Structure formats: C-alpha cells, structure tokens
Chains A and B, each alone.
Chain A
C-alpha cells in the first residue's frame, strides 16, 4: 500500500492525500510548518545573540522596568500578553493590529528571552506570563 511519511514521522495513506481527508492533511502540513518555523526562529535568535551554548529559556521576570527597557515592538507584544493573561499569536495580532506571523515571531523572541512561557494545546500555541509569577 502506498504511504508517505510526513515531517512528524506519521504515515499518511494515498487515500488520505487524494480524497478522503485532504483538508486534514493540509492542516497537518501547516501545523508542522509552523513548528519548523518556530524552531528556526529560536535558532536564528540564539545565533544572533551568540548564545549557542546557553539555555534558551533563562528565567527573567516581566516587570515594568524590564518592559520599559525593551524595544518598542517587543514591549507592545509583551504588554498585550500581560493584559490578556494568555494569548495565541492570532489573539495578540488582533490587539496590536500587526500580522499574525510578525506577532508569532515577537512572542517566540520573548519566550527565548525568558519573559514568556509557551504551551501547546492541540494545534494552538498559547503564550503567557509564568503562572508561578502571576500568583
């Protein structure tokens, strides 16, 4: 039987590709591309800062003085997450009126900088200020 291996290593049958669940397959491809994109953003960011040897998620509280010292574009994103409590790139983009992909990149940068945490639930990635710190 003809099967094809996806980026996640799961096998997809010809039937699935050609007819039965084309939408589902496309969604899977998109999901995997998004994951790849995120990983690449992290790698680019780590390279930019020359911190290949350092843990990518150091703890860095997101207090107002930190917010003040951030570049404008990241402050806007960080404040949006502070206000919403928990947000996807899509939700953040609705607030900042910037493109979802742009917002996704900024959110991931904030995760790398240790200011935000990220959690996946199904296809969605949620960004939030550490619950421990919000208590």
Chain B
C-alpha cells in the first residue's frame, strides 16, 4: 500500500529551520532509497536554489503555478548529489526580486488556480511518476502560498522553537488552521538548548511539548553549532552521516512512515 506522500514543512515564525529540515529530510529519505520531490514553495524568500547552487533554471515553480509550463519542465534531477541512494528531484522558486514582487501581488483567483495546480501534483507526481514523497518547503505564517501547500498536503510538520511568541503563535495556528483543514500534524522542536537535550529532562520536555500543542512531537533537535557553522553550504545529512543531527533525521524519517 502506498503511504500518504505529501509533506508540508511549515512554521509560525521565520528562522525556525524549515528549509534545513526540508532539505535534510529529503536527503535522508533519498539515502533510504526513496524517490523524493522537494519543492520550494517559499516564494517570498526562496532558498533552495542557493542551497543546491542552481541559480539559473529554465523553468521555475512560479511558471508551473502561473500555468505556463508543466511540472516535468520545472523539476531538476539532482540524484547525483546524494550518494548510494534513490532519486532526488527539486523544483525551485525563482529568487529574482522581480519574481518575488510578482508572486506577492497575486489575487484570490490566481491563488485558487495555484491551489488547483498544487492539488494536481498528487496525481501527476505520486500516482503517474511514482514519487514516494513530495516535500513542500513553505513560507512562515498565514500566507496564501503556505496555506495552499498545507491544504494540498497529507501531513504537516511544524517547526517550532522555545521562543514564547513562536510557541503561542504555533498553538493558535494548530487550532485555527491545521484543525480546520483536519490535517495530520507533527511538531519538530528545533534549537533545543543543550542543557535540556543532553540530560534526562528530554523526555519530560517532550511530554510537556505534547501537552502544550496537543499533537505528537516527531523530533526534538538540539542546538548544534556544527549545523550553524555549515552555513547551509552543504547538505548536512549527506556530508555528516554519523553526526547526531543526521541520526535524529534518520529517526524522524523512520517515524514518518508510521504517521
């Protein structure tokens, strides 16, 4: 039986680690032999093009959502970037300022068409092209493009931190957004302080987080200086297979299959 295959990575605030999670989760699943499609739906601050060092693309996801090309023109096969794995295809958002400005000025009708095109990916990519998972990297907060991604997804992974405004905002979003769309939601607490993550208090905190958010906690990721030091210059889970961060991602990918 085919698992539900569309995962949206979202958060209330920016800087919670959505892109880091999306890229490394995609790489982890590819390492496990899966065929993955990673899509940059953060049209306000595109970053996958920089991370994958693909500054120029013939077609962007912007074009697909505008209805000027089909999805196969947008996807770039980057499987060779992940050694001994499955397949990785990436769809980039156009990072040009003009494109960002254009995307933020779209009207409701356009957003509705964009939702239709995102929903159509289930058939074109999962059913017809045999992808195991689509991973949507989204913009933070309640924006059209993010909500479109959430509506189209089967599972939403919410990246959050201990920041109070982030916690409150995430709680609100869980009640007033994900619940309304009846989405399966999992929390990933990122940048957990070392004194919490290294001591026996970890499971206590995990239970507390579950109580606060009332949804399962998929993972707790400590604040790793090595990850920050990498500056997003390489795919961590690929380059550092024995690092604790990579191990957490491995566990996360395993748990995803049980959602």
Is the CB–CB distance between B177 and A68 below 8 Å? yes
Q: Is residue B45 contacting chain A, with contact meaning CB distance below 8 A?
A: no
Cross-chain contact of A64 among B111, B113, B182 (Cβ < 8 A): B111
- A84's nearest neighbour on chain B, judged by CB, is B119
Interface size class of A (residues with CB under 8 A): 10 to 19
Q: Shortest Cβ distance from A4 into chain B, in angstroms?
A: 47
Q: Is residue A25 contacting chain B, with contact meaning CB distance below 8 A?
A: no
Q: Is residue A53 contacting chain B, with contact meaning CB distance below 8 A?
A: no
Is the CB–CB distance between A135 and B147 below 8 Å? no
Is the CB–CB distance between A65 and B108 below 8 Å? yes
How far is B116's CA from A13's CA once the two chains are assembled, in angstroms? Answer: 48
Is the CB–CB distance between B180 and A64 below 8 Å? no
How far is B147's CA from A85's CA once the two chains are assembled, in angstroms? Answer: 18
Is the CB–CB distance between A82 and B108 below 8 Å? no
Contact indicator per residue, chain B 163-184, by CB within 8 Å of chain A (1) or not (0): 0000000000000010011100
Q: Shortest Cβ distance from B119 into chain A, in angstroms?
A: 6
Is the CB–CB distance between A79 and B112 below 8 Å? no
Q: Shortest Cβ distance from B154 into chain A, in angstroms?
A: 11
Q: Shortest Cβ distance from A85 into chain B, in angstroms?
A: 8
Q: Is residue B14 contacting chain A, with contact meaning CB distance below 8 A?
A: no
- B148's nearest neighbour on chain A, judged by CB, is A64
Is the CB–CB distance between B109 and A61 below 8 Å? yes
A residues less than 8 Å from B177 (CB atoms): 68
Q: Shortest Cβ distance from B5 into chain A, in angstroms?
A: 14
Q: Is residue B115 contacting chain A, with contact meaning CB distance below 8 A?
A: yes
Is the CB–CB distance between B180 and A72 below 8 Å? yes
Is the CB–CB distance between B180 and A61 below 8 Å? no
Q: Shortest Cβ distance from A102 into chain B, in angstroms?
A: 17
How far is B177's CA from A129's CA once the two chains are assembled, in angstroms? Answer: 22
Interface residues of chain A, those whose CB is within 8 Å of chain B, are 61-68, 72, 75-76, 79, 82-83, 85, 129, 133-135
* Contact sample, A vs B, 13 pairs, CB 8 Å cutoff: A62-B112, A63-B108, A64-B115, A65-B147, A67-B151, A67-B181, A68-B180, A79-B151, A79-B181, A83-B119, A133-B109, A133-B116, A135-B67
Q: 9 tightest A-B contacts by CB?
A: A134-B116, A64-B147, A63-B112, A61-B112, A63-B108, A63-B111, A61-B109, A61-B108, A133-B112
